[in-house]
A and B are shown apart, each in its own frame.
With several copies, the nearest count.
Chain A
Amino acid sequence: MSRIAVNLPGLHMKNPVMPASGCFAFGQEYGKLYDLNRLGAICVKAVTVEERRGNPTPRVAETPGGMLNAIGLQNPGLKHVLEHELPWLEKYDTPIVVNIAGYSVEDYMEVAREISKVHNVSAIELNISCPNVKEGGITFGTDAGTAAHLTDKVKSVSDVPVYVKLSPNVTDIVEIATAVEGAGADGLSMINTLLGMRIDLKTGKPILANRTGGLSGAAIKPVAIRMIHDVRQKVDIPIIGMGGIYEVDDILEFMMAGANAVAVGTANFIDPFVCPNLIDQLEDRMDELGIETLSSIVGRSSL
């Protein structure tokens, strides 16, 4: 096995890097810029049963070292994704992770059931942490019992491994992580965005039409590292780490904190080639730091 390959349930990744959900649509845009087979995996935008229009614009606002978004899970709906988006991805042989969301447990179950049957879907990412929708989303992610119940239900209908995407907007993320592990989650994705807001001084109103949005980018990296480190002490399932990864060192920092693979979100907007570039730099940087294989450094910070 290559020094940078990583193996997670359902995900045999030639390198640890995937784009983060919502920052890469269904792959077609970045697929015009480079060969998506270079990625360790591809994580696509949240899918819901019905088509969603999302929030009114403006949907993004810049912040120091980061950005807010309030897309509101806009997506063409399960049927369209099954018929158009996933088939387009068939030409790639890199694992596909589908992020799923819903208003109710039944919604989630329906999407999971259908999506997990698709032969080129390797895993589901259960989004219980979207801060930008009124119902569903984050409400499932802030209470351990609710999160565990949803995980259990989705697991019962999914043919592929389920990664639960955790919200950082909680008092005790370890409690939620252990609860979903107990409910059968195959892995965790962390972190989703932090709730934030910005005000336009000229109007006195929030810049985002949705008022609040999710904070992503470099600014949140230390929060992500801390949460992954804390969760790593208490759970055994793999973690896909994300939140402010821009540079090759960030990948290593996330893995030392306890991540088994990583996802890159906001950085794609700054440099559309960031994923393949980071992958290219990885081995050189490992050499400089004397790291043999990536799997050897996972969770090193808590040794």
Chain B
Amino acid sequence: MIMDNMTIKNQEEIAPKIYRIEVTGPLTQQMKNPGQFVNLRVSKGIDPTLRRPISICDVDVEKETLTMIYRVEGKGTKLLAEKVVGDEVNILGPLGQGFPVEAAKPNDVCVLIGGGVGIPPLYYLGKQLVAAGAKVITILGFRTDKDIFLEEEFQELGELIITTEDGSKGVKGFVTDALKELKAYDLYYTCGPKPMLKAVEQTASTHGFISLEERMGCGVGACLACVCDLKERDKTTGKAYAKICSDGPVFLSGEVIL
């Protein structure tokens, strides 16, 4: 199974325009890989037409709940925010290749670097890294202190550094300003806007894993809407590009042209 209606169990605004939604259903059984995403259908009809990709933020496989965090941007997320407990949402997923938890060896220091709505997938990742015995340091970037979310949750996983552009909380500046100050770490995992990803790739002293975003058609690798260029041709397929929806959204640092 890869598509099912899931029932909304909880929905709340946790920061301005940022919503946490919890849905339930057996589809969660397959959602074991952090960094994967689902493709949501926010209405039954033709309006809007396309599904909306949203990352898996947390999964409770026993309780069969999937948590997502999203920002109200346009029509689709607005409709999603209007849904109430008990409503159903059609979900296609899990999709794509997530973050490799096994890339971190026990006691490795892993830095999670997230900006804005790139933060949610790092939470499920952080939980799994900790469970696997790795050490987690998290750097989360926000515009201002009012925008902060998931603070407590990340604190429970290890050290948490918050940066705000206006300095209203934590380090003033961008996530890379905090990253620069970090001494030793073994690898990083990052998700956020493209300029941030570029800056992180340049600033980091190790390799890492980068999660990308792109406008999507199908979400399953069939339409070629979401390609990015590879630095080198893929050795097995011979292709010069990768599909973010099915080959990604997570790539090894240096693998794709940002």
Contacts and interface: CB of A to CB of B under 8 A. Distances in A.
Contact between chain A and chain B defined by CB under 8 Å = yes
Interface of A: 22-25, 28-30, 33, 45, 51, 53-54, 57-67, 69, 71, 74, 76, 80, 84, 207, 217-219, 246, 266, 268-273
B49 A63 contact: yes
A269 B50 contact: yes
Contacts of B223: 22-23, 25, 60, 69, 71, 269
B217 A67 contact: yes
Contacts of A22: 223-224
B221 A218 contact: no
Interface of B: 2-3, 41, 46-51, 92, 214-229, 237-241, 246
B218 A268 contact: yes
Given A33-B220, A272-B3, 10 more contacts: A24-B222, A25-B223, A54-B224, A59-B224, A60-B50, A61-B215, A65-B47, A219-B46, A270-B49, A272-B2
Nearest to B48: A62
A65 B224 contact: no
Given A58-B214, A74-B241, A217-B49, A29 B225 contact: no
A273 B41 contact: no
Contacts of A69: 217, 223, 225
A62 B46 contact: no
A67 B47 CA distance: 11
Listed residue (B216, B218, B226, B227) with the most chain A CB atoms within 10 angstroms of its CB = B218
Given A29-B220, A74-B241, A76-B238, A60 B49 contact: no
Closest CB pairs A-B (n = 5): A60-B225, A29-B222, A25-B222, A58-B215, A29-B221
Contacts of B238: 76, 80
Given A23-B223, A25-B223, A270-B41, A65 B92 contact: no
A76 B239 contact: yes
B217 A57 contact: no
B50 to A, nearest CB: 5
Nearest to B245: A29
Contacts of B217: 23, 59-60, 67, 69, 269
Nearest to A246: B46
B225 to A, nearest CB: 4
B50 A71 contact: no
A74 B49 contact: no
A71 B214 CA distance: 13
A67 B220 CA distance: 17
Contacts of A60: 50, 215-217, 223, 225
B219 A269 contact: yes
A269 B239 contact: no
B43 to A, nearest CB: 10
Given A30-B220, A57-B215, A76-B238, A71 B49 contact: no
Given A54-B227, A57-B215, A270 B240 contact: no
B227 A74 contact: yes
B146 to A, nearest CB: 19
